[in-house]
Amino acid sequence: MSTTELATIGGGCFWCLDAVYRDLRGVSSVISGYAGGHTRNPTYEEVCGKRTGHAEVVQIAFDPAEISYADLLRIFFTIHDPTTRDRQGNDVGPQYRSIILTHTPEQERIAREVMAEVTAARLWPAPLVTEVTPLDVFWPGEPEHQDYFTRTPWSGYCQAIIAPKVAKFRKTYADRLKRSAA
């Protein structure tokens, strides 16, 4: 019997996270969107305007029998820099913050445990600034932001930013990829 759980995370541009998590075995869907702010049903332009309080996030549907929530978060902490506040590379603003939006108290406990594990392992040279907060509302992004890397691999952002992250991810986590992604 298969069950599906949700994870909602943000770590920079949602296009990068979307491209990585779609390749993972046990992940059935990834939706790019917005969460963590105060504006109802925000648009991409509003979120980029930095006044909605929202972060660019992905909501991941996954089968915990195939991949655990903790493992999704362990991957999360290797595919973005969780030590830079409101920034990932050249992407700057509160919409690019590192954030875990939990769906249950159990997810919050696991998120804090994984963060302690990452800190103890000294994976990063600076302290983690990742927010952990309960998810209030997830707002799906516009259709043009869904599966962006697959649909527009020729774009400059995809070639310069997303492709290297995806290549590193695929090399590091080759044993966790769906067959079509390998």
Sheet bearing 98-102, strands edge to edge: 131-134, 98-102, 5-11, 55-62, 27-35, 139-140
Residues annotated as catalytic are 13
- Beta strand 91-92 with 87-88 is antiparallel
Place of tokens 């332009």: 45
Which tokens go with 22?
């779609």
- Single-letter code of the amino acid located at 125: P
Identity of the amino acid at 49: G
Residue 29's nearest CA partner among 2, 57, 63 is: 63
Which two structure tokens, joined as six digits, stand for 56? 């660019």
Q: With contact defined as beta carbons under 8 Å apart, do 5 and 69 qualify?
A: yes
